[in-house]
């Protein structure tokens, strides 16, 4: 599957690449080795576009707004065709110290943040605009109404949501449908072999309500990059070299499973981790970040690699999450409802409650 084998996003006609270029690392404003220079960022952008990619993800607060500015300058200077790409950005992050309305999801803040993003991106419209993270103090109807107004004003084309509980996303989506507002078409969530709890509520909700799933953190901050193993004992590092905790035995078990399949298939560990995500139900486009061109090229190799059913099962078993009730309990639902029949390809077992013959029912 090449980058130009496009997929429609959620219940919409928007075509996007199977891998989305994440640009959280564009810009060196945060110091250390956490970001890419402007020159390196433009090289990464150019290579992604040359390979057929059309989907770019950023946010108003990434590198204090510099990420958006780098993208805007790139297209303004004619290094790419703006109308040929899908630019996604987000609101909520407050960049104005002491200003309570400088961020968040209230109408005043949303409109201001959108105008700021349009200015930095140097564009007349944003293709996909996300609520970045749930703002508890703002009524969701105010947020959805303001987002709908941006679409109707021509400043935004499609709407998405990120890092929000499933029940709140469902409330927002159903409200939008009943009030005739533009619906959400995308759900951005952390999802990887080391973060699968989203399979309990968020992903089934997204599939039911027409939101395409876009995983972020597919390599769990580098834990699945192949750099960290039981043998070398290297400690996980966060942005600017900060320690973010030791890997657990369970995480090492997952790393071992990925490493075994990578060695078996003669590919790199990230290729296996990204290919596993590519196979998951509901996933439309995975967000891959890169600080160097080499990292981008390594991640793109996963597009040409497909795991066997046996390898997927092995990874599923090694990373099986503990989900909140009623996720596990619902596994019994087919047997309770179908009494041994197969429906939509899902088989069921007979339960002791099913009468052995018609005459034995009360």
Which residues does the annotation mark as catalytic? 62
Neighbours of 114 (CB within 10 A): 22
Q: What is the DSSP string of 267-282?
A: --HHHHHHHHHHTSTT
Q: Burial of 221 by CB count in 10 Å (0-12 exposed, 13-18 middle, 19+ buried)?
A: middle
Cβ atoms of 187 and 209 within 8 Å: the answer is no
Q: Could you give the C-alpha distances from 32 to 62, 201, 225, 236, in angstroms and in order?
A: 15, 37, 20, 16
Strand partners, 190: 216
**DSSP string over 71-134:** HHHHHHTTSS-GGGSEEEEEE----STT-TTSSSSSHHHHHHHHHHHHHHHT-S-EEEEEE-S-
Q: Are 217 and 57 in contact (CB under 8 A)?
A: no
Tell how strand 19-22 and strand 55-57 pair up.
parallel
The backbone torsions φ and ψ at residue 204, rounded to the nearest 5 degrees and listed phi first, read -60, -40
Q: How many residues does the chain have?
A: 362
Q: How far does CA 222 lie from the centroid of its chain? A: 16
Distances (CA, A) of 94 to 62, 187, 349: 11, 21, 53
């Amino acid at each position: 599957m090449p980058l130009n084998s496009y997929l429609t996003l959620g219940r919409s006609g928007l075509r996007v690449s199977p891998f989305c270029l994440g640009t959280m690392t564009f810009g060196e404003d945060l110091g250390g080795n956490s970001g890419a220079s402007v020159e390196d960022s433009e090289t990464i952008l150019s290579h992604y576009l040359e390979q057929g990619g059309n989907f770019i993800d950023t946010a108003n607060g990434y590198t204090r707004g510099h990420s958006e500015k780098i993208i805007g300058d790139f297209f303004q200077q004619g290094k790419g065709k703006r109308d040929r790409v899908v630019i996604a950005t987000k609101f909520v992050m407050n960049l104005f110290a002491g200003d309570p309305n400088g961020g968040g999801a209230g109408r005043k803040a949303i409109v201001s943040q959108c105008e700021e993003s349009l200015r930095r991106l140097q564009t007349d419209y944003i293709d996909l605009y996300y609520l970045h993270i749930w703002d508890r103090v703002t009524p969701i109807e105010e947020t959805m109404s303001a987002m709908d107004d941006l679409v109707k004003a021509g400043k935004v084309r499609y709407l998405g949501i990120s890092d929000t509980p499933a029940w709140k996303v469902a409330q927002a989506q159903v409200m939008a449908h009943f009030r005739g507002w533009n619906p959400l078409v995308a759900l951005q969530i952390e999802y990887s072999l080391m973060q699968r709890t989203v399979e309990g509520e968020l992903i089934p909700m997204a599939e039911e309500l027409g939101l395409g799933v876009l995983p972020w953190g597919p390599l769990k901050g580098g834990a699945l990059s192949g750099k960290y193993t039981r043998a070398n004992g290297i400690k996980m590092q966060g942005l600017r070299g900060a320690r973010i905790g030791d890997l657990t035995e369970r995480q090492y078990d997952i790393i071992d499973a990925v490493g075994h399949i990578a060695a078996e298939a003669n590919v790199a560990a990230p290729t296996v981790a990204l290919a596993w995500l590519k196979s998951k139900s509901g996933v439309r486009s995975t967000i891959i970040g890169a600080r160097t061109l080499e990292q981008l090229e390594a991640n793109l190799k996963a597009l040409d690699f497909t795991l066997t059913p046996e390898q997927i099962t092995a990874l599923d078993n090694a990373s099986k999450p503990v989900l909140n009730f009623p996720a596990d309990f619902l596994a019994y639902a087919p047997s309770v409802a179908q009494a041994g029949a197969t429906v939509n390809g899902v088989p069921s077992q007979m339960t002791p409650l099913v009468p052995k013959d018609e005459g034995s029912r009360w």
